Every structure is written in C-alpha cells, then in structure tokens.
Amino acid sequence: MLKIGSHVSYGKDGLLGSLEEALSYGANTFMFYTGAPTNTIRKDIDTDLTLKAQELMQEKDINSDDIICHAPYIVNLANKSDLDKFNFSINFIKNELERCRKLGIKYMVLHPGSAVGISKSEGLKNIIEALNKIIMEDDYTMILLETMAGKGSECNTNLEELKTLIEGVKLKDKIGVCLDTCHLNDSGIDMGLFDDYLEEFDKLIGIDKIHCIHINDSKNELGSHKDRHENIGFGTIGFDNLIKIIYNSKLEGVPKILETPYIGNFDGDKERLYPPYKFEIEMIKNKIFDKDILEKIRAYYR
C-alpha cells in the first residue's frame, strides 16, 4: 500500500492537530516537528491530546509507526568547537527522542550537521561521537540520518559519508536513513537513474535501513549543492522520475513525505501562502501530472 503524506504543523493541539491537518490532505502518514524547527523551545507533551490523536489514528486506519518526527535543523552535531553547545545539542536530541516515545513515534529524521571551519572527516567524527552519546539500548525511537544536498559544509552528502556514520554508531539497529530526492539530485545523484543508486545503496548500506523518503522536486540542476525544494513535476527531477521512486516496489512500505513549497498568491499587495499537499497527493495517487495544479490550488484556497 502506498504510504503518502507531507510535512504538517504541530501547533497548540500537538500531534492531534498534525493528524487532522494530514487527514485534510488525504494523507495516510505525515511528518511533524515537536515545536518550531528553527528553535529549541519545547512545550510539554499533552497526554490527553496524544491519546485523542492515537484514537483518531485507529479510527482512520493510520499506523503510528508510519508517522515521522523531524528534529529541528538548527542543531549541529558536527561541530565541537563550543563544547557547551555540543553538549546542549546532544541533550536536546536525547530529549526529542523521549518526546517521540511519549507520542508513540518510532522514527525521527535528523540533519547530521555541517562541518563549519573544520574538515569533513572531523565533522563526521564529531557526529559519530554525538550519536553514540545520544542513542541508548532502550530507546523507542530510531534516528534516521537524512541524505543532504551538500550546501555549504553539510555532512552526509554521499554514500561513503553515510557508510562512515553508520559504521561508527555502536547500536546499529538503532540507526536508519531518510532519503531526500531533492537533496540527492542536488548532491549529484541523477534521479532518472534511481534504481542504480538504490542498488549501490543496498550494497553499501542495505535497503532495509531506509525508513522514510522525502519526496521533493528540485529548483536546481543536478549536482548544484543548493537544497531548494520545488513542487512535484515543476523542477529538474520531474514528475515521471518522482513517480517511479514513489512506486518503486523495493520501497513499498516506506513512508513518502512531501516537503514541497507552499504556493504563493498575491491578494491585493499581500502575499498569501497555500499548502500544495492535498493536490500533490491526489496527483501522485492518480500518477498523472496536472500542469495547471498551481492555479487549482490558488482557486481552492481563495
């Protein structure tokens, strides 16, 4: 069965709000941050609302194991120059894993980090040290390392780096991978040749390590190292290539999550932004590209 959803907001109703938003898009999975992705301020988990979310999931036949959490992207485990900050990041991610446990969420995506002012190998070493301090035997939630575009000094931008990271982690059954199609394209992997990539991935890492795929088109050329997501079918990867990845039989049970940009629309002189997910999900289910979809989204939300 196709597992398709998008990034959704968290907000005051916590997981319940995220679930309701996902349902409104016709999704059967989703991804959320347990607070703002750009800061580390976190509210306590509301047990009542979490219970309500779990009940609604059951009613709507959504498996909580398919739901993905994303760690805030400002946390940088690659840098150790400020030891207080490094330790704060470690404790913060540990705390996020505990929040996931309370929410009943099995997977948390993490941007491994950027090697600012140090070598890549130094950065990878720091990430491994941090991961080994974070990951514990009795953790409920698994960290998924996201494949990155190679913007600036980002780590985990090719299979060799990913292999280094995974080999460095002591508790190997507690670490997994999240692919991101835009990031792969921008890092230099041709998404038209995805099967070759997957074969190589399986040889080096193992396909069973993949527990989430971010489905995004890219605004930039292959190997641009930019990381700017585009709506499905409007970028350099293209609709057909993305559909082939989404429906790849080797990745059937893996949740596919859209992180495509909101659609802008000028209302007077004020720009409003609309979520494209309901329409992109429908298009993916139909497997037919609709070149007029952006106008339809504007009309729907107007």
Shortest approach of Fe ion to residue 38 CB, angstroms?
13
Instruction: Decide if residue 227 touches Zn ion (CB under 5 A).
Output: yes
Instruction: Decide if residue 180 touches Fe ion (CB under 5 A).
Output: yes
**Residue 21 or 186: which CB sits closer to Zn ion?**
186
Contact segment (CB under 5 A) with Fe ion among 117-125, 130-138, 151-159, 212-220 equals: 212-220
Shortest approach of Zn ion to residue 213 CB, angstroms?
13
Shortest approach of Zn ion to residue 148 CB, angstroms?
8
Shortest approach of Fe ion to residue 154 CB, angstroms?
11
**Residue 6 or 164: which CB sits closer to Fe ion?**
6
Cβ burial of 162 (10 Å; 0-12, 13-18, 19+) is: buried
Shortest approach of Zn ion to residue 298 CB, angstroms?
24
Residue 227 binds which of Fe ion, Zn ion, none (CB < 5-8 A, kind-dependent) = Zn ion
Shortest approach of Zn ion to residue 55 CB, angstroms?
33
**Residue 154 or 180: which CB sits closer to Fe ion?**
180
**Residue 86 or 107: which CB sits closer to Zn ion?**
107
Q: Give residues with Cβ within 8 angstroms of 213, minimum separation 6.
A: 178, 179, 180, 181, 245, 246, 251, 254, 255, 256, 257
**Residue 217 or 227: which CB sits closer to Zn ion?**
227
Instruction: Decide if residue 229 touches Fe ion (CB under 5 A).
Output: no
> Which residues 75-104 are close enough to bind Fe ion by CB under 5 A?
none
Shortest approach of Fe ion to residue 70 CB, angstroms?
6
Residue closest to Fe ion, measured at CB: 214
Contact segment (CB under 5 A) with Zn ion among 118-126, 168-176, 219-227, 269-277 equals: 219-227
Residue 214 binds which of Zn ion, Fe ion, none (CB < 5-8 A, kind-dependent) = Fe ion
Instruction: Decide if residue 214 touches Fe ion (CB under 5 A).
Output: yes
Shortest approach of Fe ion to residue 122 CB, angstroms?
23
CA distance 43 to 231: 32
Contact segment (CB under 5 A) with Zn ion among 25-33, 80-88, 119-127, 227-235 equals: 227-235
> Which residues 134-153 are close enough to bind Fe ion by CB under 5 A?
146
Residue 96 binds which of Fe ion, Zn ion, none (CB < 5-8 A, kind-dependent) = none
Q: Could you write out the DSSP letters of every residue in the chain? A: ---EEEE----TTHHHHHHHHHHHTT-SEEEE-SS-TT----PPP-HHHHHHHHHHHHHTT--GGG-EEE--TT--TT--SSHHHHHHHHHHHHHHHHHHHHHT--EEEE---B-TTS-HHHHHHHHHHHHHHH--TT-SSEEEEEP----TTBS--SHHHHHHHHHH-S-GGGEEEEEEHHHHHHHT--GGGHHHHHHHHHHHT-GGGEEEEEE-EESS-TT-----EE-TTSSSS-HHHHHHHHT-GGGTTS-EEE-PPPEEEEETTEEEEE--HHHHHHHHHHT---TTHHHHHHHHH-
Cβ 218 vs Cβ 237: under 8 Å: yes
Question: How many C-alpha atoms does 268 have within 13 Å on its Cβ side?
Answer: 1
Binding site for Zn ion (CB under 5 A): 227
What residue ranges bind Fe ion (CB under 5 A)?
A: 146, 180, 214
